[in-house]
Amino acid sequence: MLKKITLLLFISSFTISFGQGMFNMFANNQTTKKNWQIGFGADLIMFSDDDVSYIGDKTIGQLPRFNITGQISRDFSLDFGFSINGFDDLSFVKNEISYFSFDFSGRYYVLTKEETIDPYLFAGLSLVNFKDIYSPTVNLGLGVTFWISQNIGLNAQAMYKAGIVKQKMPSHPQFSAGIIFGFDNQKKINYSRCSFNR
């Protein structure tokens, strides 16, 4: 348990530092107007019956999941996150194996004029650690954020991870849900996806 907590703290620091450095590269292209989202949630990962004998589990619950998102234009943003099954028993699912992943994706927002709902499509890559082996996946998915206040939203998304090396990591779906906190660098911006500024 101590090892997982140490790993979790290290990854949290890495995520914040990496995300800040990555999105700062886009500052000039945004005319100094940048939006940020930080999310906390949980994942549910499912494997097919054919893969259970190799994986050792059919469903894996992951808590916590962290992600950081930066807006780069009116319709696009970049997202970086990671998830880990920090708890072996989540009451609704018991984890028999250890699984965590780093996820990177680009998001395209389907609606640009709505301020209370943000549906999006995304594609990206993941690096999954399973049995102390890192395996890459190619990801496709969709999601939506419902903004319940100016800077707080509820997010849900579904992702399909296609294993590049199937002998190491079979393809599988991943479902996520969490809470989003939005931040602005300026009080008013023109293409806000993190607030209701007009």
Residue 95 has pLDDT above 50, yes or no: yes
Beta pairing, strands 99-109 & 152-163: unpaired
- Residue 175 belongs to some domain of the structure: yes
Cβ atoms within 10 Å, residue 183:
12
Higher confidence at residue 123 or residue 190?
A: 123
Q: Name 12's bridge partners.
A: none
Handedness of CA 154, 158, 164, 168 (dihedral sign): positive
Strands (E), 72-132: 76-84, 99-109, 117-130
Tokens of 173: 């779906």
- Residue 60 belongs to some domain of the structure: yes
- Residue 99's domain comprises 2-30+37-184
- Residue 68 belongs to some domain of the structure: yes
24 alpha carbon, distance to own chain's centre = 19
So what's the pLDDT on residue 67? 95
Residue 15 has pLDDT above 60, yes or no: no
- Residue 198 belongs to some domain of the structure: no
- Residue 189 belongs to some domain of the structure: no
Report the percent of the chain where pLDDT is more than 70. 70
Residue 111 has pLDDT above 90, yes or no: no
Higher confidence at residue 17 or residue 113?
A: 113
Residue 21 has pLDDT above 80, yes or no: no
**Domain tally, the chain:** 1
Residue 188 has pLDDT above 50, yes or no: no
Residue 189 has pLDDT above 50, yes or no: no
- Residue 118 belongs to some domain of the structure: yes
Task: Kindly report which listed range (25-34, 37-46, 80-89, 143-152) carries the lowest average pLDDT score.
Answer: 25-34
> What backbone torsions phi and psi does residue 13 show, to the nearest 5 degrees?
-65, -40
Q: CATH no. for residue 134?
A: 2.40.160.20
Inter-residue contact 82 to 11 (CB < 8 Å): yes
133 alpha carbon, distance to own chain's centre = 21
What secondary structure letter does DSSP report for 48?
-
pTM score: 0.75
> What backbone torsions phi and psi does residue 107 show, to the nearest 5 degrees?
-110, 140
- Residue 194 belongs to some domain of the structure: no
What secondary structure letter does DSSP report for 50?
H
Give the residue-averaged pLDDT of 72-97.
Answer: 80
- Residue 196 belongs to some domain of the structure: no
